[in-house]
Amino acid sequence: MNWPQKPGGLGVGVVWWPPLDALCRESEGLVDVVEAEPEAFWVPTPDGLGFRSFVGEALSHLSQPKLLHSVGAPVGGTCIAPDGHANALARDVAELRPLYVSEHLSVTRFRPQSGNAPVSAGFMLPAVQSGPGVNLAIANIRKHRTALGDMPLAVETGVSYLPPAPGEWPDGAFVRAVAEGADCGILLDLHNVLCNARNGRQSVSEFCGSIPIERVWELHLAGGETEHGFYLDAHSGLVEPELMEIAAALVPRLPHLRAITFEIMPERVAGASLPEIARQLGRIRDLWNSRHRVYAKDISPSHILPSEDPALDDPDSWERLLGSAVTGLPQPLIQDRSAEWWRSAAPALDLYRMLVGEGRASAVLSAAPRTTRLLLQDCGSAGTRRILAEYWRKSPPQYTAVDEARAFFRFLSEAEAARRGLQEAISLDTAELAEIGS
């Protein structure tokens, strides 16, 4: 295996956003490694065939080692990332020289019908946890790693708000089979595992007892919140005490741990406050300093699989079912033993639809500020949301915030053509997006 090599590991990290920059200065002594989600700093090129990246420029003032946590090419689905993604990510890798790259074991694109072009689901959806799902993820990881010049690659343990499907592989057994089959590392997002447990999936102890802990290169820690009866991986604040206790029991058992990384969304930083986040990073350093103390090499992971085959085991059918449900497209019929499970999944699907909508609204707001501001002034919050809901009904989610804004402009130009000042706002936002991408 191509293990990432750095004596002593990297240390305490954060997923970087501008509001956290003051804590990331090396002089503060709080952050040893800076992790970035590269696609958040990409814009499509004018020809639509690739992406221009600003991640190197954004992080150039920070001297710490960098890690790249990709969010645009998850390895759990049948649809590869759009044209130009692999090249853009490879350029970021060459510029920032991370010790390894991590990617999600999830699905974000699907084909509404066989033979259709892929469309975005607008949110990370769980991969099908079956034998074919394992084989697909292994093949995707190998291709992704090759495209990055055999860069060491870790897969993140995902979150799923769905109830367990009939006959599906348990969460930990699925991750174990993928990581061992692809001979890759694991980014163990403990907050995701806690979310899954609280939402009725596998317990934290069973999950951690199922995965090969010698493959865990990194931990992610975050805060969450409750919404619509679910505990969400919202990256909304500080790490709660229960999760810190779970991490404290686990860290000493991880022989190849390279980093412990704190995640928080940029819009939540002010609410948590920089002083409190700084104290949180100090507690995470205590966790980091406890590593390599009680690792027992004779501990074998548990990997008991269901006695029955999954009713839904085909990756293409699985992602079409979920993707259509959360984006409002016509759904395939379920007539086998999965029908009852699908009915029980209705609350989770409602949650996913809400999360897709919130993500799309955030993308439009960030990429089309003048247009959004005009709509809010003229229509108010409720009226603007009605316009957005009609746009979502007529247009599937887009891959980037820039693509989302451009599709929204096209919709508005047809549906709201008479609104005073609208075309001027659209023109100004369009010109700014074109300048950024050029």
232 within domain boundaries: yes
Q: Please say if the pLDDT value at position 284 is more than 90.
A: yes
Which of 105, 168, 103, 171 lies closest to 136 in space, CA to CA? Answer: 105
Q: Are residues 79 and 185 in the same domain?
A: yes
69 in helix, strand or coil?
Answer: strand
Looking up residue 236, the CATH number of its domain turns out to be 3.20.20.150
Angle at 387 between CA 406 and CA 161, to 5 degrees: 85
The stretch 72-88 carries a mean pLDDT of 92
Query: Where does the pLDDT of residue 434 fall: very low under 50, low under 70, confident under 90, or very high at 90 and above?
Result: confident
In a domain, 305, yes or no: no
Contact 353, 359 (CB under 8 A): no
Residue 145 CA to its chain's centroid (Å):
18
Domain shared by 32 and 156, yes or no: yes
Rounded mean pLDDT, 105-120: 92
Residue 4 lies in a domain: no
Confidence at residue 255, expressed as pLDDT on a 0 to 100 scale:
94
User: How far is C-alpha 73 from the geometric centre of its chain's CA atoms?
Assistant: 10
pLDDT at 304 over 90: no
* Residue 1 located in a structural domain: no
Average pLDDT in the 375-404 region? 92
Same domain? For 267 and 158 the reply is yes
- If asked whether residues 278 and 405 sit together in one domain, one would say no
| Mean per-residue pLDDT, 251-276 | 96
CB within 8 Å of 380: residues ≥ 6 apart:
none
Question: Is 310 a residue whose pLDDT tops 80?
Answer: no
Q: What is the pLDDT of residues 165-218, one digit of tens each?
A: 999 999 999 999 999 999 999 999 999 999 999 999 999 999 999 999 999 999
Number of neighbouring beta carbons within 10 Å of residue 55: 23
Same structural domain for residues 239 and 169?
yes
Domain that holds residue 418: 349-437
Place of tokens 């090759």: 146
Q: What is d(CA 59, CA 104) in angstroms, rounded to the nearest whole number? A: 22
Task: Say whether both 279 and 365 belong to one domain.
Answer: no
Residue 277 sits in the same domain as residue 400 = no
DSSP-derived 3-state class of residue 281: helix
Phi, psi torsion values for 381, nearest 5 degrees: -65, -45
- 414: pLDDT strictly greater than 80: yes
Interval 11-32 mean pLDDT: 94
What are the phi and psi torsion angles at 145 (to 5°)?
A: -65, -40
Outline where DSSP puts E strands in 275-393: none
To 5 degrees, how large is the angle CA 401–CA 360–CA 78?
Answer: 80
d(CA 174, CA 179): 9
In 3D, which of 32, 28, 27 has the Cα closest to residue 12?
32
Report the alpha-carbon distance of residue 101 to residue 110 in Å, rounded. Answer: 24
Q: Specify the pLDDT at position 300.
A: 52
Residue 154 tokens read as 């870790």
Tell me which of 288, 321, 340 is where a domain ends.
288
Residue 322 located in a structural domain: no
Tell me the pairing of strands 259-263 and 33-36: unpaired
Rounded-to-integer distance, Cα 421 and Cα 223, Å: 41
Phi, psi (deg, nearest 5) at residue 276: -70, -35
What percentage of the chain exceeds 70 in pLDDT?
Answer: 94
Does 128 reside within a domain?
Answer: yes
- 298: confidence class by pLDDT, cuts 50, 70, 90: very low
- pLDDT confidence of 295, banded at 50, 70, 90? low
8 A C-beta contact, residue 54 and residue 22? no
The verdict on 128 and 266 lying in the same domain is yes
Give residue 112's pLDDT. Answer: 92
Are 224 and 365 within one domain?
A: no
Same domain, 219 and 115: yes
In angstroms, the CA 36 to CA 16 distance is 5
Give Cα separations from 182 to 9, 142, 188 (angstroms). 23, 6, 16
Burial of 152 (0-12, 13-18, 19+ CB in 10 A): buried
pLDDT at 8 over 80: no
Same structural domain, 68 and 186: yes
Instruction: Out of 239, 272, 288, pick the residue that ends a domain.
Output: 288
Q: Indicate the pLDDT class of residue 308, thresholds 50, 70 and 90.
A: low
- The pLDDT-based confidence of 28 (bands split at 50, 70, 90) is confident
Does residue 332 belong to any structural domain of this protein?
no
- Decide which of 288, 307, 325 is a domain's last residue: 288
Structure tokens of 164?
């367990």
> Taking Cα atoms as reference points, which of 86, 187, 189, 74 lies closest to residue 121?
74
Instruction: Please compute the mean of the pLDDT values over residues 334-343 and round it to a whole number.
Output: 86
d(CA 373, CA 391): 17
Q: Are residues 124 and 217 in the same domain?
A: yes
Domain count, the chain: 2
Q: Is residue 301 part of a domain?
A: no
